[in-house]
């Protein structure tokens, strides 16, 4: 899903799994553009060539599960795929999400708020054209079978199948890159209590599912059957376990699962929600805010019940929740008293759950991400060197496994740029990044071969990556048009000024000098101006982006004579 983000005021793409996208293709469409806004709540129903705008007054105020159920019942088809918002989107919470196929989520950037501003409750789709024309079906079958035969040997892929993304919690925690207590610490003492292995062993995980035709089945379904945190939902994920759990000092896995369910069924980005709650906890700890300021809540580290109350206040914009609903950047500006120093955001987006002081490739990737400091743009997970496939990739790309070290900056610009290009082409091909930039099961060579088998268009792996680079550069140019420059390629203040306090990476920090050195090399690799971060004219022409050159020339921002 792409839009201008109400959080960052810049280009934003938000990602979701599930089955909605493939159903749209079965209906005969590759993309839907929605302009304008309705004067009353509506939803769009697409059934092949028939497209209707239907009344949604009876859906307004309903949660995601209820909305899906009602739409399917009134249209008389349980196979309809629905992308919808919950009450958070209706109330234009700036980090509201779009929920897809009930439990899959386009979480980041507040695009649910964009739907809410349009009075658009949902887009439902059903397609009947199941046949897809393939240029070389036997070759495609052969290539797919080769990939499938390698799956059982892929360590990361096996982890996703067994535990989903929560399987990464304990390993990242051991590397002191799993932040807790609002990024004050790089390690959480209770991390293993909500690690994927523990969630399975304790019986919380009740099932698993994959997106369309995916063998990973990384998506889990959990249930808490008794106690005050009873819940049932899809997930959880590494990011929400970190944001709603470790970041808030909450060690009770059942409480975290409940908070995750609330975010899902009310349509809220759990990562941003956790970020604003833990920032508020630190404000209370420092005396910048009092209990009276936050509606009498006892919001201390680890108090899950108070955190849940605040979540609901955010969703319905009640009391202090109305301030937090505007996002962390706004809240810190509103409260003042230097609270921006512990507001873990950059460019308006709350940071993903990697302590970038202990992960230098992630530091660079987050600093240059057009979305803001998060994981869904490059995902250079190979730098951890935590499994054989990642170490092999590091050696192939950089010449030596010694660069599989998250604490060093050497060769990290090269690693980030390669991951950016691959991530971009992965999305352009309609694939999941878990198949490419995390498991490394599919590499550019595989993608080029499969693309030929599907389309009869021959393209080399290098040409394919160049397409990815064109996408990355176009995203950059859009944000340049909106005012983005090198000065904006930064990380949250705490991570650039306060060193890691403990563990093997003790003393490491994302200093300006360190980041500047990586940025210089990164811009050079991309063919962007080192002073401004704007792509050079020669680079844009080489990439076939003459129309973008004309657009930026009108604004008089292109670097001169280059």
Residues 428, 284 within the same domain? no
Integer Cα distance of 369 and 13 in angstroms: 11
pLDDT digits (tens, 9 = 90+) for 373-416: 999 999 899 999 888 999 999 999 999 999 999 999 999 999 99
333 and 454, same domain (yes or no) = no
Q: Which of 301, 327, 333, 300 is nearest to 314 (CA)?
A: 327
156 part of a folded domain: no
64 falls within a domain: yes
- The pTM score is 0.96
**367 with 313, same domain?**
no
User: What residues contact residue 225 under an 8 Å CB cut-off, 6+ apart?
Assistant: none
- Report if residue 46 sits inside a domain: yes
Q: Based on the domain organization, do 113 and 182 belong to the same domain? A: no
Which parts of 76-228 are beta strand (E)? Answer: 81-84, 98-100, 104-106, 120-126, 205-209, 219-224
Same domain, 326 and 403: no
Q: Domain range holding 364?
A: 356-555
Indicate the pairing of strand 42-47 with strand 120-126: parallel
Domain-embedded: residue 172: no
State percent of the chain over pLDDT 90.
90
334 and 382 together in one domain? no
Residue 561 confidence (pLDDT) above 70? no
- Domain finish residue from 327, 350, 373: 350
Same domain for 322 and 371: no
Q: Report the DSSP beta bridge partners of residue 47.
A: 50, 126
- Tell me, yes or no, whether 87 and 114 share the same domain: yes
520-541: average pLDDT: 97
Look at residue 562 and tell me whether its pLDDT is greater than 70.
Answer: no
What is the number of domains present in the chain?
Answer: 3
Residue in 467, 450, 380, 447 with CA at minimum distance from that of residue 419: 380
For residues 399 and 491, membership in a common domain is answered with: yes
Which two three-digit tokens encode residue 24? 């749209």
Nearest to 473 by CA among 547, 412, 415, 531: 547
Q: Minimal CA–CA distance to 313: which of 262, 261, 384?
A: 262
Question: In the predicted model, is pLDDT for residue 294 greater than 90?
Answer: yes
Looking up residue 284, the CATH number of its domain turns out to be 1.10.569.10
Give the tokens for residue 203.
């019986």
User: How far are the Cα atoms of 31, 286, 328, 339, 366 from residue 314, in angstroms, in the given order?
Assistant: 32, 22, 12, 19, 26
Band of the pLDDT at 95, cuts 50, 70, 90?
A: very high
**Do 337 and 249 fall within a single domain?**
yes
pLDDT digits (tens, 9 = 90+) for 207-258: 988 898 888 889 999 999 999 999 999 989 999 999 999 999 999 999 999 9
Specify whether the CB–CB gap between 408 and 394 falls below 8 A.
no
Domain's final residue, options 350, 375, 409: 350
- Separation of first and last alpha carbons in the chain: 34
User: How is 318-384 classified by DSSP, letter by letter?
Assistant: -TTHHHHTT-HHHHHHHH-TTGGGG--EETTEEPPS--GGG-HHHHHHHHH-SS-SSSSS---GGGG
What is the helix (H) or strand (E) element at residue 51, kind and residue range?
strand 50-55
Q: Is 139 within a domain? A: no
What is the reported pLDDT for 386?
Answer: 84
* 149 assigned to some structural domain: no
Q: Which of 315, 350, 385 is the last residue of a domain?
A: 350
pLDDT of 442 above 70: yes
Q: Are 256 and 303 within one domain?
A: yes
């Amino acid at each position: 899903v792409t839009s201008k983000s109400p959080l960052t005021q810049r280009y934003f793409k938000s990602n979701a799994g599930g089955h909605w996208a493939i159903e749209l293709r079965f209906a005969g469409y590759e993309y839907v553009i929605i302009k304008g806004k309705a004067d009353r709540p509506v939803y769009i129903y697409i059934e092949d060539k028939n497209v209707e705008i239907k009344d949604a007054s009876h859906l307004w105020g309903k949660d995601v599960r209820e909305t899906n159920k009602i739409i399917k019942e009134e249209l008389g088809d349980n196979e309809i795929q629905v992308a919808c918002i919950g009450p958070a989107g209706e109330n234009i919470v700036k980090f509201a999400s779009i929920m897809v196929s009930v439990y899959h989520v386009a979480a980041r950037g507040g695009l649910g708020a964009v739907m809410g501003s349009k009075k658009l409750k949902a887009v439902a789709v059903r397609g009947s054209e199941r046949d897809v024309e393939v240029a070389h079906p036997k070759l495609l079958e052969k290539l797919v079978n080769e990939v499938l035969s390698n799956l059982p040997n892929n360590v990361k892929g096996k982890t996703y199948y067994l535990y989903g993304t929560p399987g990464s919690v304990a390993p990242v925690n051991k590397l002191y890159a799993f932040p807790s207590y609002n990024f004050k610490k790089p390690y959480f003492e209770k991390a293993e209590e909500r690690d994927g292995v523990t969630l399975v062993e304790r019986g919380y995980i009740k099932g698993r599912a994959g997106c369309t035709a995916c063998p990973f089945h990384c998506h889990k379904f959990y249930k808490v059957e008794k106690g005050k945190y009873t819940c049932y939902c899809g997930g959880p994920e590494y990011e929400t376990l970190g944001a709603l759990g470790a970041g808030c000092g909450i060690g009770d896995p059942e409480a975290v699962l409940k908070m995750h369910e609330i975010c899902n069924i009310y349509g809220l980005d759990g990562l941003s929600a956790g970020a604003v709650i833990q920032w508020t906890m630190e404000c209370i700890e420092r005396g910048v805010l009092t209990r009276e300021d936050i509606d009498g809540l006892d919001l201390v580290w680890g108090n899950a019940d108070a955190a849940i109350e605040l979540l609901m206040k955010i969703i319905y914009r009640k009391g202090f929740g109305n301030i937090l609903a505007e996002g962390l950047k706004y809240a810190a500006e509103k409260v003042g008293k230097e609270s921006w120093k512990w507001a873990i955001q950059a460019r308006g987006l709350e940071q993903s759950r990697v302590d970038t002081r202990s992960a230098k490739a992630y530091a660079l990737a987050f600093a240059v991400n057009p979305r803001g400091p998060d994981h869904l743009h490059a995902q250079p997970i190979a730098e951890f060197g935590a499994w054989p496939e990642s170490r092999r990739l590091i050696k192939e790309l950089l010449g030596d496994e010694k660069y599989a070290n998250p604490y060093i900056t050497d060769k990290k610009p090269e690693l980030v740029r390669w991951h950016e290009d691959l991530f971009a082409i992965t999305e352009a091909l309609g694939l999941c990044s878990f198949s490419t930039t995390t498991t490394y099961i599919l590499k550019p060579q595989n993608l080029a071969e499969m693309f030929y088998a599907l389309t009869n268009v021959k393209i080399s792996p290098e040409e394919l990556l160049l397409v990815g680079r064109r996408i990355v550069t176009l995203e950059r140019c859009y944000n340049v048009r909106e005012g983005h420059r090198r000065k904006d390629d930064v990380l949250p203040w705490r991570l650039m000024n306060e060193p890691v306090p403990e563990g093997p990476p003790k003393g490491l920090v994302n200093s300006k000098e360190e980041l500047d050195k990586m940025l210089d090399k990164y811009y050079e690799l991309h063919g962007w101006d080192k002073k401004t971060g704007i792509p050079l004219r020669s680079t844009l022409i080489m990439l076939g982006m003459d129309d973008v050159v004309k657009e930026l020339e009108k604004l008089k921002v292109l670097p001169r004579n280059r």
